[in-house]
Structure 1
Amino acid sequence: MVLGRLPTSRTHSMHPTRRDLLGLLGTVGLSTLAGCSGTTTDPQISVPTNALTDEEIRVELDGLESEASVVVRASAQSQNQQSNAKTGGQWESRARFEVGDDGTLVVGEQPPVEGTYEDADPMGLFWSKRPADAKSDQQLPPEAIFAPGEESYEVTLTAEVDGESVAEATTARRLFDPEIEERAIDHGDLVGKLFLPPGSEPAPAILHLHGAGGKPHLATARLLASRGFATLALQYFGDPDPIPDTLSEVPVEYAETAVEWLQEQNRVAGQKLGVFGFSRGGALALLLASRNENLGAVVGWVPSGVVWEGLSYGRAPADTSAWSVGGEPVPFLELADADPGPPPAPSLPYYEPALSKASDDEIATAAIPVEDADASMYLVSVTDDQRWPSARLSERVVERLDANSYSHKYRHDSHEGAGHYMRYPYLPTAGTSRNQYNVYGGSQEANARANADAWHETLAFFDDALGE
């Protein structure tokens, strides 16, 4: 392992380098609708018949009139139970291109003349969808979010010339490999689910920790398993027993028990595990790594290197730490006395003033001793985070590691203009800036770019840190 700090990255491409581990391509199939063309073949769209949802795919059109103007549309059905005429069912995107002399078009190789996204992007038609009935300049209602099916969803691509449909193809986006295995946790004190990669060979393992929403990120865990990582999606507060009801003095030892249990599984390879935490779970991941020598890789998405006051019922301040060790609350920063307004509302007013007003001694007391970890670290933050100041909180981790000449690799990527709502890539990101209760920040494009870059970099990081 190369030692020392990796460079901090500030800007990112939507098109990460593909690795063999991630190259699970579907079978390519062609679909054609009848249409008129001056070429010797009818227009057609070539796409894989299916691919994993995080897979960047090639969309190619041929058989078109040379120098024609073609509009390519993508549509998919959202399964959001709160959908109505203004938020979906049907979500759509579009882009108009000028065809070359040879009558072909590769969508990702040129920017659209106009459409629902701007730059050359193989997946622009996928993430830029919006509810079909929503105007392009209309702010979506808080309940608008694209929800795929339980296992997959279909995207239909249509090519139009002069308002007439000339070709059509459909590609299925699989949320996980159907060959992964789901196992129950045979430990009475743990709540969560274990997902194993296809096959029977041992695999590197990851403990995934959710955020303040209180529900394990099962879709993320399934996709990680599809990419070759045995993944335990652990729930650490909420229903059911025996975990705490709220994010208040959650024992760090509970997560340590999960690490021990995961190491004992016969499908887990290697002596070191990875931990992947989102938001409040990112803080727990850093706390856990600072105490546990069995972790070799730490990923935090929009995390905090400072321990904060916990949350009680209704996410009200808990008057105590979010975490405990040995039955005692971990030292923490108190949330500010704030009134963010009626929902949907940001929670940033609880955190940013408190961080700015805290003394150096107060921050030092609440800071997580990340330098005590024995693991590589990869942190992802966003600059328009409306939940808490994840960029500042992540940079504090880097500063602490710098000051202590940390001997393992570490890196912090901060995504300009993106918001707190992060998930695996290429799902439509319209509606991810807020929901009925929370404001997350960001924009459709910035959130899409952050999702894609963070996800693929996370996979590469774990593959490097945990690979044999």
Structure 2
Amino acid sequence: MFQLIATPSNALADEPVSIRAIGLPPSQMVTIKATLKDEKENLFQSKAFYKANEAGEVDLEQASSLGGDYVGVHPMGLFWSLKPKRAFQRLIKKDVINSPFCITLDLYDSVIIQDTVTTPPKASQIVQRWFAGPGVQREQIREGRVRGALFLPPGKGPFPGIIDLFGSYGGLFEFRASLLASHGFAVMALAYFAYEDLPDTLLVEDLDYFEEAANFLLAHPKIQQPGIGVISLSKGADIGLAMACYLKQVVATVCINGFSIVFDIPLRYRDLVVTPIQLALERTEVHVSGAVRLRHYTDDSSNKLNPQNILPIEKAQGKILFIVGENDECLDSKANAQRALDQLRRHGRSNGRMLAYPGAGHIIEPPFSPHCFASWHSVLGKPLLWGGDPIAHAAAQEHSWREILKFFRQHLLHSGSKL
């Protein structure tokens, strides 16, 4: 009798799942298909073809996919290869506390090429992927100008505090903050435009706002003193690096695929205003997918730099971890990180390091997240190309997440603390 077993079937979204099919005829060709609907009923699907061994089993930790959405031995391939039915959709969990993503795994006793399947599966299994562990609490934050959501681990604390910043989409993204809180950190997902009563568009990077957020976090009774961390992606990484440079409250910063210069939007902090470098948009390209490729538009920045455009990274007192995808089609994030590290070195500083991932794209997220090659950008009103080879990108997400957790544990925890 055909059986499909997924273990654990109910776990955090960053935990691996073991998938096995048993009770098959020896050498039977099968298709395993994964289906997920997001909170707006958008459909995401993936599939892979396998051949049963002589015992009539397929174990994804050992068996090689012979085709479908990936080839080779990839135990979590059905998760990170989930693709939207409708082009340019990005899978984002909105309600991270009350409901999981439910992924349906279906087993078929043949090679199913078409996406539309009329025959019923021989076996099925539902896997629940949660973004907050047991006991993690969410607090809505509306304090002064600061808007966001604070996730607190179970227990009395105090916990090491982190601010979580996403990019030029605007709004509030909570899934990374809630996952980090599930690992023992107190994390504030921070909105900075296009959310509640914040400005609709980002006209200035106002560091006073981010300092207000840092001070709010440090004043919270469950937050460990004396400093906080920042994790940041894309435009958020530009801001995260500026926070590391100017704010003494920030002692550990993760910058994922961002600039090391003031780019496109002016930076303001107290009496300081830094004019950004502006580039002509005629350098953009349209990829065969229809998405806009920005990399050449942003790559030209090094030819037009003035010293005042460059963030003074040598002023950063804390540790900085740059995470870059070498196949980032949005910007040359590796060159930006290298520029910052060279600047540190020239000033005799060694508080920064870089993890560069060949084949990884722009949107590096927690492990097993579907690879997003391109998605609709509501602010720009067009799809953007993010890049990345799916297999290499998935490996980068797994490795970088372990390194992020290790980095924050090392640089935010008091000696003697355990996490």
Bin for the TM-score computed over the shorter chain? 0.7 to 0.9
| Aligned: 1:175 with 2:163 | no
Alpha-carbon distance in structure 2 between the residues aligned to 1:306 and 1:50: 43
> Residue 163 of structure 2 corresponds to which residue in structure 1?
207
| Aligned: 1:116 with 2:69 | yes
Alpha-carbon distance in structure 2 between the residues aligned to 1:341 and 1:68: 46
2:274 to 330, 337, 347: 330
> Residue 220 of structure 2 corresponds to which residue in structure 1?
265
> Residue 130 of structure 1 corresponds to which residue in structure 2?
83
**Which consecutive unaligned segments of at least 5 residues does structure 1 have?**
1-34, 36-41, 84-88, 135-139, 311-320
- Code of the aligned partner of 1:252: L
Which structure is richer in relative contact order (CA contacts within 8 A, separation 6 or more)? 1
- Code of the aligned partner of 1:128: S
Q: CA deviation at 1:233?
A: 1.6
| Aligned: 1:352 with 2:308 | no
Change (3 A) 1:434 1:206: same
Indicate the SS of the match to 1:298.
strand
Alpha-carbon distance in structure 1 between the residues aligned to 2:285 and 2:179: 36
Residues 34-53 of structure 1: matches in 2 within 5 Å?
35=1, 43-53=3-13
> Residue 435 of structure 1 corresponds to which residue in structure 2?
376
Indicate the SS of the match to 1:56.
coil
- Code of the aligned partner of 2:258: P
| Aligned: 1:340 with 2:340 | no
Farther-moved stretch of structure 1 (280-289 vs 93-102): 93-102
> Residue 309 of structure 1 corresponds to which residue in structure 2?
264
Change (3 A) 1:111 1:405: farther
CA contact (8 A) 1:80 1:147 kept: no
1:391 to 311, 316, 334: 334
Q: CA deviation at 1:286?
A: 1.4
Report sequence identity in percent.
26
Give the TM-score taking structure 1 as reference length: 0.76
> Residue 103 of structure 2 corresponds to which residue in structure 1?
155
Residues 12-411 of structure 1: matches in 2 within 5 Å?
35=1, 43-80=3-40, 83=42, 89=43, 91-131=44-84, 141-142=87-88, 144-147=89-92, 150=95, 151-162=99-110, 165-177=121-133, 179-185=135-141, 187-241=143-197, 243-310=198-265, 321=266, 323-336=267-280, 338=282, 340=284, 344-353=291-300, 355-358=301-304, 362=306, 364-408=307-351, 410-411=352-353
- Code of the aligned partner of 2:7: V
- RMSD, matched Cα: 2.7
Alpha-carbon distance in structure 2 between the residues aligned to 1:77 and 1:54: 18
Alpha-carbon distance in structure 1 between the residues aligned to 2:93 and 2:207: 34
**Which consecutive unaligned segments of at least 5 residues does structure 2 have?**
112-119
> Residue 25 of structure 1 corresponds to which residue in structure 2?
none
Change (3 A) 1:79 1:251: closer
Give the TM-score taking structure 2 as reference length: 0.84
- Code of the aligned partner of 1:169: Q
Q: CA deviation at 1:424?
A: 2.5
CA contact (8 A) 1:338 1:349 kept: no
- Code of the aligned partner of 1:194: L
Kindly tell me the number of residue pairs found equivalent between the two proteins: 395
Change (3 A) 1:64 1:344: closer
Change (3 A) 1:92 1:348: closer
Change (3 A) 1:239 1:128: closer
Farther-moved stretch of structure 1 (336-345 vs 47-56): 336-345
How far does the alpha carbon of each residue in 1:58-114 deviate from its partner, in whole angstroms, 9 at most, with x for none?
112333344443332222223445x4xxxxx3x332222233334433202232122
How far does the alpha carbon of each residue in 1:359-417 deviate from its partner, in whole angstroms, 9 at most, with x for none?
5xx1x332112122122211112233333222211111121222233243x32122333
> Residue 114 of structure 2 corresponds to which residue in structure 1?
none
Q: CA deviation at 1:331?
A: 4.2
Farther-moved stretch of structure 1 (114-123 vs 56-65): 56-65
- Code of the aligned partner of 1:222: S
Alpha-carbon distance in structure 2 between the residues aligned to 1:44 and 1:383: 37
| Aligned: 1:424 with 2:370 | no
Q: CA deviation at 1:190?
A: 1.5
